[in-house]
Chains A and B, each alone.
Chain A
Amino acid sequence: AQKITQTQPGMFVQEKEAVTLDCTYDTSDPSYGLFWYKQPSSGEMIFLIYQGSYDQQNATEGRYSLNFQKARKSANLVISASQLGDSAMYFCAMTLYNFNKFYFGSGTKLNVKP
């Protein structure tokens, strides 16, 4: 069975500082994908970043980077230079290749302080 764990229910960060959101996962399947989504209060799911299990390099997308440590089964999201608009729920998720259905973590509520 697949499992995603996010141990930080809530986080605060000062505007313009960097923040790391933790995510660990568990699967016995060697082929998987790891995602981070942002969910503002409106409820929409906004794709941030993706890391494939066979990718050698950590994924980056603008201010977002994914710290992928395969041996430790962790996929932490790093947001650099936080902005007020980054305040939202953040979900780590996993898919098995060719399935495209997500297993989500419990989420982290990020609050960016001015």
Chain B
Amino acid sequence: GAVVSQHPSRVICKSGTSVKIECRSLDFQATTMFWYRQFPKKSLMLMATSNEGSKATYEQGVEKDKFLINHASLTLSTLTVTSAHPEDSSFYICSAPGGAVTEAFFGQGTRLTVV
């Protein structure tokens, strides 16, 4: 089946630095990718929708300048957490829709810790 590869799986960074998370669709083209954030023992919250070749659509309350999303090609979407702070520590996961309404392919997730 289709695979979405997310990298890195874990990252620890210092406050004030930026971290880039990549999501690649390995055997299909993804014109759309969704980025979610999950706090410990909490639900997944949709952050934004990235669209290849155009600007991302952010959900209400998500800081566009803090979470930069780029969808540079049909197989790659990136989420950059800029000037990270400890409160940005979370689990971030991407997903790409498949051809059918029931299909959604999730990345493995990235556990970000900001110290």
Task: Give chain A's interface residues, CB within 8 Å of chain B.
Answer: 33, 35, 42-45, 47, 50, 52, 91, 95, 97-98, 100-107, 109
Contact = CB atoms under 8 A, between A and B. Distances in A.
A107 B93 contact: no
Name the prevailing secondary structure of the B interface residues.
strand
Interface in B65-113: 91, 93, 95, 97-98, 101-104, 106, 108-109, 111
Contacts of B109: 43-44
A101 B46 contact: yes
B43 A104 contact: yes
Contacts of A95: 101, 104
Contact of A45 (B32, B42, B106): B106
Nearest to B98: A100
A89 to B, nearest CB: 8
B46 A43 contact: no
B104 A100 contact: yes
Contacts of A103: 46
B49 interface: yes
